[in-house]
Amino acid sequence: MTTYSFDAVIPIVCVILAGLVVMLAEAFRGRGEKMPLGGLAVIGLVGAAASSVLLWNRNATSFGVVTADNFALFLNLVLVAVGLMTVLITAQTADRDKLPAGEFYATALFALVGMMLMVQASDLLVMFLALETMSIAVYVMTGIRREAVNGTEAAFKYFLLGAFASAFFLYGVAFLYGTTGSTSLDRIGTIVASQAMAPNPLVLMAVGMLLVGFAFKVAAVPFHMWSPDAYEGAPAVVTGFMSTGVKAAAIAGFTRVFLSALEPMIGYWAPALWVIAAATMVLGTVVGVQQTSIKRMLAYSSIAHGGYLLLGLLAGSDVGKASILFYLAAYALTNLGAFGIIALLGSYSRDNDNLRDYAGLWHSHPVLATLMALFLLSLGGFPPTAGFIAKWYVFSAAIGAGYYWLAIIGFLSSVVSVYFYLRIVVMMFMTDRDARPVPAPVTGIALAGLALSLAGVLYLGVLPSQVIEWAQASVATIF
């Protein structure tokens, strides 16, 4: 039974209020005064998680354009986990990197507001507003270290290319509105289904432009060029945040629009998506092998993982749709853990993200080396980690849908990617440490965040059935 109330926006409101409270606390904080700004952010995120759990199976709708179906609520919980991990890691790195803590936490929370609104939007205009809210906040976070030239350059490139992608998305919305008279996904789906045999050329243009807009946010080839520079220039904790949160929100919007409203047009957009997914998996893997910067290496890894997600989306079956949600949860926990360790091993004057910087890490930081190895093995798809189950699930969905060649390309690219993940592991455990300074000890809060991430990675790898069932139940509410 569908209810119409304010209930659907409660998780979003919790995060908005947390962002506003953090801004006010920062404004009234005296110079040198310590305030638990991260704690205020955690309260808001916990409230969003609790309200999402309480809304489960209620299918609440607010204002006719924001829907709290199980699909959105599952992703809300993933995004809350992304936010919590970011806050816990930043607790140690903010002062060291001279980040304005109040601005950072508030901007991260407002970025999460955009992400959550995007996964809950059932109207294209609301989705566009959510996309811009998320994007502007992430642009700011990318260049938040104002004195870092490479960070400013990365933010500027990201902003310029993101503006072009947003324009494509908005033109796609305009063309769909011009042909259907609505921006509601349900209404668009009904009209497009009636025209599927002989579609209006404007609808085909709209599909192409929306495909470009979403592909940019997913960092899919050939719209990936912003990703390596932005990942390398931003603080490592920001890189982890945007590589997981932005991808989750974009894939959610992609799924709602293309597998719901534009599903009758699948014969037109599926071939293009096939090529994009294949190119994304191959390029992300091949170019990633050549990198010596860990952040750029993981940037290309993120591109390849975007291709695996598109593989699940292209499959289109119930298994494929559920595999998208499971993969996003597994990838978020794994990638945040890896980037969290990179952030903790860095310093104000040096990111320490070169491959050689990890030589002999086992001798100076055995716990971090072990955690990093486990996260990298999960990214490579080794059992018994979440990455193995996620890739198996996606490839199974592709094979079940008849995309045998695409599944083979995905499997081979995954095998090749193991090389650059294991290269880091070998450097940490089988190479002597040189005269580089030993990184600072890790605080208990940051270590707790990494431990929670590892627990999630191992749980999803050893006992995935419950989360898979939730993913399947979640997808069933929008299709």
DSSP state, residue 3: E
3-state secondary structure of 32: coil
- Please report which helix (H) or strand (E) contains residue 66, including its range: strand 66-68
List, in sequence order, every residue forming a beta bridge with 3; answer none if it has no partner: 60
- Contact (Cβ atoms closer than 8 angstroms) between residue 61 and residue 84: no
Question: Tokens representing 372?
Answer: 């990093």
Instruction: Kindly give, in sequence order, each residue whose CB lies less than 8 Å from that of residue 269, ignoring residues fewer than 6 positions away.
Output: 207, 208, 211, 258, 262
Give the closest residue to 189 by CA, choosing from 266, 129, 107, 120: 266
CB-based contact 307:222 (threshold 8 Å): no
pLDDT at 476: 79
Cα–Cα distance measured from residue 219 to residue 243, given in angstroms and rounded to the nearest whole number: 9
| pLDDT for 43 | 93
CA distances from 330 to 86, 273, 336 (A): 16, 23, 10
Q: What is the pLDDT of residue 38?
A: 84
The pLDDT assigned to 3 comes to 46
User: Taking the chain (479 residues) in consecutive chunks of 10 residues, what is each chunk's mean pLDDT?
Assistant: 72 95 84 75 94 92 90 94 91 78 90 95 93 93 82 86 90 91 89 76 90 90 86 87 92 90 88 94 90 87 92 84 91 92 79 80 87 93 92 92 92 90 90 66 83 93 90 80
pLDDT at residue 27, rounded to an integer: 83
SS3 144: coil
> Radius of gyration (Cα) for the chain, nearest Å?
21
Cα separation, 237 vs 151, whole angstroms: 13
Kindly report the backbone phi and psi dihedral angles of residue 408, in degrees, each rounded to the nearest multiple of 5, phi listed first: -65, -45
- The per-residue pLDDT for 434 is 66
User: CB count, 10 Å around CB of 120?
Assistant: 29
Q: First and final CA of the chain: distance in angstroms?
A: 16
Report the alpha-carbon distance of residue 25 to residue 246 in Å, rounded: 27
Which run of H or E residues covers position 214?
helix 201-218
At 270 the three-state DSSP class reads helix
Amino acid at residue number 384: P
pLDDT score, position 346: 78
Cα 374 to Cα 334: distance, rounded to the nearest angstrom: 9
Residue 354, strand partner residues? 293
pLDDT of residue 1: 45
Q: Tell me the residue length of the chain.
A: 479
DSSP 354: B
Strands of 3-4's sheet in order across:
3-4, 60-62, 66-68
Integer Cα distance of 341 and 298 in angstroms: 13
Contacts of residue 323, Cβ cutoff 8 Å, sequence gap at least 6: 312, 315, 390, 393, 394, 396, 397, 471
Around Cβ 275, how many Cβ atoms within 10 Å? 11
Residues 429, 419: Cα–Cα separation, whole Å: 15
Which pTM does this prediction carry? 0.93
Sign of CA dihedral 67, 68, 71, 75: positive
Determine the pLDDT at residue 348.
67
φ, ψ dihedrals at 464, nearest 5°: -85, -10
What are the CA-CA distances from residue 79 to residues 74, 88, 381 (Å)? 9, 14, 22
Residue 228 structure tokens:
């390596």
Phi and psi at residue 384, in whole multiples of 5°?
-100, 60
Which of 464, 212, 417, 227 is CA-nearest to residue 308?
417
CB neighbour list of residue 383: distance below 8 Å, 6 or more residues apart: 389, 461
DSSP for 401-469?
Answer: TT-HHHHHHHHHHHHHHHHHHHHHHHHHHSS---SPPPPPPPPHHHHHHHHHHHHHHHHHHHS-HHHHH
Alpha-carbon gap, residue 94 to 100, rounded angstroms: 7
Cα(153)–Cα(123) distance, rounded to whole angstroms?
34
**Angstrom distance (rounded) from CA 213 to CA 253:** 11
Question: Alpha helices, DSSP H only, in 29-100?
Answer: 37-54, 70-96
Distance separating alpha carbons of residues 422 and 471, to the nearest angstrom:
30
